[in-house]
Chains A and B, each alone.
Chain A
């Protein structure tokens, strides 16, 4: 399947943290076509294994999280209005006036409402809406709402990805389905490369609520190398250049304590050798990605992090350049093809 189409499909699919099953099935079904087997663990991580050709086969873990942020019903109010909380970090200002899909006894359409501006004074209007002030309106009678919806049901912003100018695309859940698309691009590239290593491409769960899926899956797989694939802030006005990466200029390769120096330097070497554009990113402590969990699993795992530049993170219009996804897939494929047991052994030598 084409990477662009895959990304369009999986970003439209629902898959809130803890409730990833719909998107999980879609991802597993596609990725396994380029691998040997697929399974799911007890937390819901989708594990796709593409076996290597070596006698000694180092294990390389690729982790991209498939969960997305969203909403969860906390209370059904009089009139059938639904109070909600967020699952993962949501900026309340970005959700007012959005259409949502609520997963009750069946899928229900709704909107996020709040007190209209006509009924608020100037001072109120200068304040942003808080999550507590907003509600989901299903335009159904209260009795019907109570029949179909239960506290704890989840909802997501309704959004299909939009192709913009050139190779860019905007939509919801690009964070981090873009990373999942990178794994597809990588597996496709690996079809024509010789690699010794067993590749575990894992679409992880519950990253947005505390890198939870990566914690258990790296314990289970015990990889020799773990690479997290996530998104990073794209360059935009008002943000220091050193905190961002430019769209269309290739993946960010992170350096810092969370990253094994020899994994970062090998990624950079590969990028240079194969003419893949890249950008350096710094992280002065544990990153907010699956790499945070992978590195300290069991007795320690050499970890890397590559990121797709993306603007408007955690909104329903996350914007990226598809070219960056493809280049990142290539980078990882060539990296995997270069991994052998000597390289792995060196990673414990300081």
Chain B
């Protein structure tokens, strides 16, 4: 999984421009599933046929980026953010466009670093003037961090672990999954970072019985951390709540029971802000009971996001166990109340 994660992390794929990462993922999964297709928002679907409960598993494949809005006469590029990009973190970075063009992030003269905003920054792609720049990049092109993934023991450091780590977990689970009664729709979703858009349309299209998102989550195990329960290396996290979803208590319980049964280390996660694809999935059509398996991740939305391979392995085990469990919808989610 280490090599897979490294490959996925280093592949270009900002929100709305997921073609390259989609191709890579399609190549990784197509021998292990029955059907593979895309839709108008660019979501990638992988289907394992089954006769029983239809389960959607979503991992978003997009990453945050910066979009060119202006090219000045000297060839410097001004830009705006695609998803949650912070100007402080951009400082001193190298960025890359889909076509291989690489640039430095430069900053205007500033008397106070607190005044740093995105419009004080620019991309320098080494062009001597506007004409030369326009041969390499055009307005509307999106750049991402340019960063090789590094492996330090069980930990991997790099860009876009949010959420290529989730993609890797879903890919690995698809590979390991034996025949199950369930019909599995694994969806590598687009535009999560700009508002859960891909998952909204793909879950509408699939109309699943159950939904599960696999995404990264924030941790509280670093110096002077926020008051969060999740720690790196302590196992897969089972989400209880974030700003987008309150996970269905039944799914949460199913995941906890499976973890106990298979002796998979897990931790409970309550996130006060932020959202994930389950936020869109559970509100689809008449409502879809949904849950989330989260992969603990430090330094989210920076080029040095860090995840733990053991956590990912445990997430794969938990996901595989969940997908292999036959769920009788009528019994697990009864309509009768009294």
Contacts and interface: CB of A to CB of B under 8 A. Distances in A.
Interface in A192-240: 206, 209, 212-213, 215-217, 219-220
Nearest to B329: A42
Given A18-B241, A72-B241, A220-B286, A151 B268 contact: yes
A98 interface: no
A72 B220 contact: no
A280 B289 CA distance: 38
Interface string A26-44: 0011001000001111110
B285 A74 contact: no
Nearest to B238: A152
A41 to B, nearest CB: 6
Interface residues of A, number: 38
Contacts of A17: 246
Contacts of B162: none
B252 interface: yes
B325 interface: no
Nearest to B230: A151
Interface residues of B, number: 30
A42 B229 CA distance: 29
Given A72-B240, A75-B229, A38 B337 contact: yes
Given A42-B333, A85-B272, A216 B227 contact: no
Interface in B267-287: 267-270, 272, 282-287
Mostly, the A contact residues are: mixed
B288 interface: yes
Contacts of B241: 18, 72, 87, 152
A74 B338 contact: no
A151 B240 contact: yes
Contacts of A55: none
B240 A39 contact: no
A26 B238 CA distance: 30
A40 B252 contact: no
A87 B337 contact: no
B335 A39 contact: yes
Contacts of B247: 18
A46 interface: yes
Given A18-B246, A216-B286, A151 B337 contact: no
A75 B220 contact: yes
Most buried by A among B241, B334, B338: B338
A43 B252 contact: no
Contacts of A217: 286-287
Interface string A289-323: 00000000000000000000000000000000000
B218 to A, nearest CB: 12
Contacts of B288: 42
A73 B246 contact: no
Interface string B281-304: 011111111000000000000000
A25 interface: yes
A129 interface: no
A19 B285 contact: no
A212 B280 CA distance: 10
A287 interface: no
A129 to B, nearest CB: 15
Contact of A19 (B249, B269, B284, B334): B249
Interface string A85-117: 101000000000000000000000000000000
Contacts of B227: 74-75, 83, 132
Contact of A38 (B248, B249, B285, B338): B338
Nearest to B288: A42
B228 interface: yes
A336 interface: no
Contacts of B272: 74, 85
B336 interface: yes
A61 interface: no
Interface in B39-78: none
A215 B249 contact: no
A253 interface: no
A28 B338 contact: yes
Contacts of B334: 40
A46 B284 CA distance: 18
A62 interface: no
Contacts of B335: 39-41
B228 A74 contact: yes
B286 A219 contact: yes
A24 B337 contact: yes
A76 B229 CA distance: 8
Given A17-B246, A72-B241, A152-B270, 13 more contacts: A18-B247, A18-B249, A39-B336, A40-B334, A72-B270, A74-B272, A75-B220, A75-B227, A75-B228, A87-B246, A151-B269, A219-B286, A220-B286
Interface of B: 220, 227-229, 240-241, 246-249, 252, 267-270, 272, 282-289, 333-338
18 contacts: A19-B246, A28-B337, A39-B337, A40-B336, A41-B287, A41-B335, A42-B248, A46-B337, A72-B240, A74-B228, A74-B229, A74-B270, A75-B227, A152-B241, A152-B268, A212-B283, A216-B287, A219-B285
Q: Nearest 8 pairs between A and B by C-beta?
A: A18-B246, A152-B240, A216-B287, A220-B286, A151-B268, A43-B287, A28-B337, A40-B337
